[in-house]
Chain A
Amino acid sequence: MQPTQSSRRILLPVRPWFIFASLMAALFLNVVPLGRFAAMPDWVALVLIFWCIHQPQKVGMGAAFVLGLLMDVADASIMGQHSLAYVLLAFGASVLSRRILWFPLVQQALHVLPILVGAQVSMLLVRLAVGAESPELAWFLGGFIGAALWYPLTYLLLLPQYRPVERDENRPI
């Protein structure tokens, strides 16, 4: 059962509080002290890109901007660095959202990958422009790991929207 447009399965409407809760959970995961592991995927970017693709009417660049500001303060980086990256990411995701959901999940992940890495590159450009040290290469691995997590993430975040499969001969849907 693939949660794509081409599948026959019909999802329940999303609950706004669930979107909010998942974004907060991602923010929470980003500040959990797990040591300095450079290739840790950016959970906020990942969840944000998911909702921008699945619910482009509800989550867009405004939410991306606000989350970016929160991440800027949490990460002690320059104000606007994450906002810029997340806004670009949200734009890319919502532009692709009509097209992307027709693909199977692996190919969706291939669409997500350049958006995630692009956001990282935009952050890199901003920081290099103001003269910061260049990061370890493992940092870019974070984007790749994020894209690889697309399959479990989709399953997890769409779980509340699945309706039970009931076979009823009179109601085919």
Chain B
Amino acid sequence: MISTVGHLPPPFFKRGPAPLARLLFFISLSITLLVADLRFHTLEMARQGVAAVLWPIQRIAYVPVDAGMDLGEYFATLYSLKTENDQLRRRELATANQLLRQGHLEEENRRLRALLDMRERQPAEGRVAEILYAARDPFTRKVIVDKGSNAGVEPGQPVIDELGVLGQITRTYLFTSEVTLLTDKDQAIPVQVQRSGLRAVLAGAGIGTMELRFLAANADVQPGDVLVTSGLDGIYLPGLPVAKVVNIDRDNSFSFARIDCVPLAGVERHGQVLILGRRVTPPLPAEAAPTPIKPAKGARIKRKP
């Protein structure tokens, strides 16, 4: 007998608390996390910790795709490389005129601005990052890039690719950061119609589209118009291409026109992106602004003090 030597027989089935009790415990824990994250934004530290654990997995997951691309490049035929080379040379020649005069024009612009006593535009500095993967969450539009706070990336920095504005850094981890794409429903960007100079706010509308909001039904916008950043928010540099108007629905029964746009940048593709440095906003004139203007998207960005 086991009990005679001082030991109780072990229980037949050692299973801990009942499943329903465990379920309720974990559900309440999850809901606590949800509330803490959404209402109080207190879980950033925990997020940083989990992200550090995840980083090797994210990095390794990128390897096969990277290797696949390298392999594809290796097997690219001489002919396709040659055509691409030709194309690039032709394009370079086509833009050479502008490029060669860019330095001259910038210098001239600087002198004229100095003459007019206007503030100088900041030169844009950037940091190249690579898109690791698009977040699978179907409710938001985010991509993860491979530069984080250790590379000096901060929340709020604009992200562009070679065609236009991609989005904005909304959260940084140590080695990675999250970019909220312009097509995200919560993302807005102040823009200007390049043709007419009309200023408006462009907001994401979900699946690959954007919407120009709060423009009157008779506003001077045409399909095909290119929208560029207006730079009013102090985040994006002015003049970066953002989107193209594809469809306008001028229904007089509504006070605003419904204007659909598609992003110019390869928002849902992969590749390399450029994270632009933070703009130093010029101080506002005292009489014009009793309260500091918040950036259009400011509510979502948690600025570090």
Contact = CB atoms under 8 A, between A and B. Distances in A.
Contacts of A60: 22
- Range class of the B interface residue count: 35 or more
Interface string B32-54: 11101110000100110011011
Contacts of B27: 84, 87-88
B296 to A, nearest CB: 18
B54 A28 contact: no
Shortest 8 CB-CB contacts between residues of A and residues of B: A80-B33, A135-B138, A33-B133, A84-B30, A80-B34, A132-B139, A79-B37, A133-B185
B154 interface: no
B23 A91 contact: yes
Contacts of A77: 135, 137, 139-140
A62 B47 CA distance: 18
B131 A33 contact: yes
B268 interface: yes
Given A28-B61, A57-B15, A79-B36, A87 B136 contact: no
Contacts of A62: 22, 26
A46 to B, nearest CB: 13
B51 A73 contact: yes
Interface stretch (A36-44, A102-110, A163-171): A36-44
11 contacts: A36-B134, A61-B22, A61-B23, A68-B30, A73-B54, A75-B136, A75-B137, A76-B140, A76-B171, A77-B135, A136-B138
Contact of A126 (B34, B138, B268): B34
A134 B138 CA distance: 8
B304 to A, nearest CB: 19
Contacts of A74: 54, 57-58, 135
A78 B185 contact: no
Interface residues of A, number: 49
Nearest to B26: A87
Interface string A124-136: 0011001011111
B216 interface: no
Pick from A33, A69, A70, A126 the residue with the most CB of B within 10 Å.
A33
Contacts of A36: 134, 268
A173 interface: no
Contacts of A81: 34
Nearest to B183: A133
